[in-house]
Each structure stands twice: as C-alpha cells, then as structure tokens.
Amino acid sequence: MAPDMDEFWVFGYGSLMWNPGFPYLEKAGAHVFGYRRSLCVRSHVHRGTPERPGLVLGLDRGGSCRGVAFRVAGDDRAEVLDYLRARELVTHVYKERLLPITLADRQRFTAIGYVVDRAHAQYAGALDVPEAARIVREAIGKSGPNPTYVINTVAHLRQMGIRDHWLEGVERLVATP
C-alpha cells in the first residue's frame, strides 16, 4: 500500500492513538483534511451484537480530523501492516487508504489510514446526539459496554488536547444514569 517508502506513517483517530499495538519510531500530533472522526460504524462484535449493535468510530469523509501519526521502520512494514489489517479490516467496514497528513510542526507526509466504507451495511451514517447516545447506552460486546468505549475515547481525546464537541455530547448523555 505504501510503495517505494522505507519508513512509513500510520494515522490514528480513535483507539490507535493511545493503543497502537505495534512498534513505532515516533509519535506526533497530526491533522488530516477531507475526513472527520465520526461515531458512524455499527459494531456487531466488540461493542455490540448483531441483535443490538453498538457504535464505534470511523473516519468519514468531510471536514478534518486531529489525531496521531506514527512513523514506522521499514523493517517492521510487513508485521505492522499484517497487524493493522487484522485489526481494522475484519468486516471490511473500513478501507485502507493513503492519506495526506500534516504534523503539528507543519511537515507533510502520506500515511496509511482506515476510512469508513459508506456502502457497507455497518455504516450508520450521520446520527444526531440523542439517537447515537440511545444506541450506545443499550449495547455491549465482547470488548465490553459501548458506553465505556465512548467515555474512555472522550477522556483520551481530552488528555491529548483534542476536543470533539459532538462526541462529548454523546458522552454526556451515556455517562448520565
């Protein structure tokens, strides 16, 4: 996917930011334009079930997204790509893409990233805050309750200085008993 590059970059916008699970040389704040972080993927396994799906993050087109970029050694390419594909492409709701990124220091690179496939059955589309909160509140999957995922995600984003007002609105509703 990343031809003619020794080292390469990976862009994370959700749990990859704080739980990459692969070796890297450098971690830096990054921005991607043309895509936004969105709670738009119906989770049938990790945060829900087929009968009661939860919601997890996707990188959806439109807007921009602050996240984290990881610089990976060329020697780790095969191992890291195998890991990422096993993690991100299980149900093929995400597509692997090369994304132009801008680091916090304004350097520009191309990074591997995973964007949501809007044609996939798990794509939930744009939901309003109350509807997203209702879905999240009622879902639990093999990785735990969906509200925990949203609450932890917002907490990690805040720790990194990233504000996502829409997601924070969902978090407020699911954190309230």
How sure is the predictor about 157, in pLDDT bands with cuts at 50, 70 and 90?
very high
Q: Is 88 a catalytic residue?
A: yes
Structure tokens at 33: 């334009």
Q: Which of 51, 79, 88, 171 is catalytic?
A: 88
How sure is the predictor about 90, in pLDDT bands with cuts at 50, 70 and 90?
confident
Residue 155 inside a domain? The answer is no
In this predicted structure, the answer to whether residue 177 has a pLDDT above a threshold of 80 is: no
Give the DSSP H/E element, type plus range, for residue 142.
Answer: none
Contact indicator for 145, 139 with CB cutoff of 8 Å:
yes
- pLDDT above 90 covers a percentage of the chain that reads 90
In tens, the pLDDT along 95-151 reads 999 999 999 999 999 999 999 999 999 999 999 999 999 999 999 999 899 999 999
Give me the phi and psi of 52, to 5 degrees please: -140, 75
Residue 146 inside a domain? The answer is no
Q: Between these two residues, 82 and 4, which has the higher pLDDT value?
A: 82
The pTM (predicted TM-score) of the whole model is 0.89
Residue 76 inside a domain? The answer is yes
Q: How far apart are the first and last CA of the chain?
A: 45
How sure is the predictor about 5, in pLDDT bands with cuts at 50, 70 and 90?
low
CATH code for position 122: 3.10.490.10
In this predicted structure, the answer to whether residue 161 has a pLDDT above a threshold of 50 is: yes
Residue 142 inside a domain? The answer is no
Q: How many domains does the chain have?
A: 1
pLDDT at 145: 96
Residue 2 inside a domain? The answer is no
Q: Which domain holds residue 33?
A: 8-126
Residues in the chain: 177
- pLDDT above 70 covers a percentage of the chain that reads 97
Residue 163 inside a domain? The answer is no
How sure is the predictor about 4, in pLDDT bands with cuts at 50, 70 and 90?
very low
